[in-house]
Structure 1
Amino acid sequence: MVSVSDEAGKSLVSRLKQKRRRHVKQLGKRLIRGLADFLASQSLVGDKPVMNTADFPFLKQFTDNWEVIRDEIAEVLKHREAVPTFQEVSPDQKRIAKGNNWRTFILFGFGEKLAKNCAKTPVTTRLLEQVPNLQTAWFSILAPGYHIPAHRGVSKGILRTHLGLIVPKDAERCRLRVADEICIWREGEIFVFDDTYEHEVWNDTDEERVILLFDFDRPMRFWGRVVNASFVRLLKLTAYYQEPKKNMQSFEERFEAATRRADANLEKLSEPAHG
């Protein structure tokens, strides 16, 4: 039997952890704001909300192979319910990710490869492994009618890429705002943006939107690269990274188990009846 004092002790520990986490997040936000101007000054590709894709020639391999990438995620989505929601993987995102509206199939997290997930998308993985200084990569699956509220990314030293894969027919009503610029996803088209600018998403259609999302280090001068690398290493020590890392591995195992069960059920259904 658990005593009242034990319960009170656990409650106190939980409150202290939450308080410490809020304090760390506040310190982190102040550090990020202080770093932003310096990293922007170190950029070799400017500091606009939406970047010029011509500055990143390695992106062409994604537009050349987008249909193969689309087909790989379409296979994954046959087991849609086993694909975790964003807030399940990263509880810090619960303000912007609600219900089952935003699912994420993660391939790389802060440079760490999820081997089992990657094995299900081999062509996509091979292309991502050729991206210079890749940080994260995942398929972003957005439900019909969902709005992702305005938010900002963590580091100006990292740029974000979106490749359109499955886009609603009424594409103009499924859009991303970055600062005061509007980006429309098109199947097979790619764009790069700085997610430290305020951005938000609307899917005002009755169809699902699926993209490949990945982050890589912003091309910068020497000291910009040094400072950004140090900041990312520091970030990896915090709950912001550690909790999603643990959850990513757990959900990778869950998805693997779900696909095995589905495959076994299909085999049983295909067996000839006896009797």
Structure 2
Amino acid sequence: MAERRQTGVAQTIEKQLPPQPSKALIPKRPLVMRLGLWLQPRINRLSARSSKIGNEAFYDTAHFPWVAQLEAQWEAIREEALRVSQDLSKVPPLAEISPDHRRIAPAGMWRSFFLYGYGYRVEANCEAAPVTARLLKSVPGLNSALFSILKPGTHIPAHTGVSKAILTCHLGLRVPAERARCRMRVGEEQTLWEEGKAFVFDDMFNHEVWNDTDEVRIVLLVQFRRPMRPLGRAIGELFLWGVRHSRFVQDARRGVAEWKAG
């Protein structure tokens, strides 16, 4: 009898726990997306060969003058990020608005306040963060931008991005005091965030994130076009056009709209 009661309690607790990241939570991909996944490594190899700045895990921010402009205004950006994330229940979890992120996004732990997503501007969010939105206009080839928020105890498992046609910039806005326990691995290298400082990396390198502290971590995440020679740029743009019109992005757009409407 005691064993049955213990089993029943364990099952109840298990049902209450949020679902863990899993491929099984991702909806079945249509044929066009499966074709895109087949093309992805081939286009990535072309992008790497066409890159004007090499094929590295991390890049010197001096290649991108607009990064210094973001760093110079980081306190104003942080003020907006803190204001819109004051009540985290109003910032959507990435796993809820983007079904394809359920493979890596722990339920409720990784929250994203989108300003731009694959070229689509989220008007209401940009109005809520006008300084940040204005500064983003200076980013050549802007693809996406968001306040990326990791709650305490979050682990984002190893994964890769969508395309080498884009690079990612992180600007540290709110970094836990125990910096060494809040870190990211990209390829074989590990890095820490620093408030007011940015770094640029290629998210097509396998990467993983930990926030093992009891504080929230917030960064401004900016995705932008990789500087490439003409052929690679043209093919990359075509691939990103397909991604922009795919279910991957359109589901996320609907998720953001429905979350805001709710």
User: Structure 2 length normalisation: TM-score?
Assistant: 0.87
Identity among equivalent pairs (%): 44
Mapped to 1, the partners of 2:69 and 2:197 lie a distance apart of: 11
Aligned equivalents of 1:253, 1:192: Cα separation in 2: 34
**1:1-275 maps to which residues of 2 (within 5 A)?**
19=28, 21=29, 23-254=31-262
- Contiguous gaps of at least 5 residues in structure 2: 1-26
Letter of the 1:94 counterpart: R
RMSD: 1.5
List per-residue Cα deviations over 1:12-34 (Å, max 9, x = no partner). Answer: xxxxxx55x16544432221111
* Whole-angstrom CA distance in 1 between matches of 2:59 and 2:258: 35
Gaps of 5+ in 1: 1-17, 255-275
Query: Counterpart of 1:78 in 2: which secondary structure?
Result: coil
Q: Tell me by how many angstroms 1:117 deviates.
A: 0.5
Amino acid at match of 1:126: R
Instruction: Give, as a single letter, the amino acid of the residue that structure 2 aligns with 1:133.
Output: G
- The whole-number CA distance in structure 2 between the counterparts of 1:183 and 1:97 is 20
- Please give the per-residue CA displacement for 1:173-219, whole angstroms capped at 9, x wherever unaligned: 10010000111000001000000110010111111100000100000
Paired residues, number: 237
User: 1:141 & 1:233 partners in 2: Cα distance?
Assistant: 27
Higher Rg of the two aligned structures: 1
Deviates more, 1:216-225 or 1:236-245: 236-245
Q: 1:168–1:208: 8 Å Cα contact kept in structure 2?
A: yes
Q: CA deviation at 1:84?
A: 0.3
Q: CA deviation at 1:151?
A: 0.5
Matched with 2:17 is: none
Question: Within 1, Cα distance between the matches of 2:138 and 2:170?
Answer: 16
